[in-house]
Amino acid sequence: QVQLVESGGGLVQPGGSLRLSCAASGSIFSINVMGWYRQAPGKERELVATITSGDITNYADSVKGRFTISRANAKNMVYLQMTSLKPEDTSVYYCKLSSNRRDYWGQGTQVTVSS
């Protein structure tokens, strides 16, 4: 089994920054994709960014140029640096790990962008 634990969410003013972290533990294959997704109230969960074990990244158009995903393989960690935050970025952010044809999700961390 794989466990994912997110941290780093909170309340931030528009234009501010936050850094989310996700720690993975358990039986993790070296070849995997980790990513961040978000879900706002009344909306479907959507992709924010993904990164492969080979450091290939992919971003939603809405966050390109503002968010940066990175990972530390030796620590089984993935990060999401968020800058120039907007009120529409307010969501619960979830960490996901995909490996060996299975998906694992964290419990989510709330990010609220408001003045």
Per-residue pLDDT of 33-46, as tens digits, reads 999 999 999 999 99
Per-residue DSSP letters for 85-104? Answer: --GGG-EEEEEEEEETTEEE
pLDDT in tens, 43-91: 999 999 999 999 999 999 999 999 999 999 888 899 999 999 999 999 9
Question: Whole-angstrom Cα distance, residue 19 to residue 42?
Answer: 25
Which of 18-22, 27-31, 63-67 comes out lowest in average pLDDT? Answer: 27-31
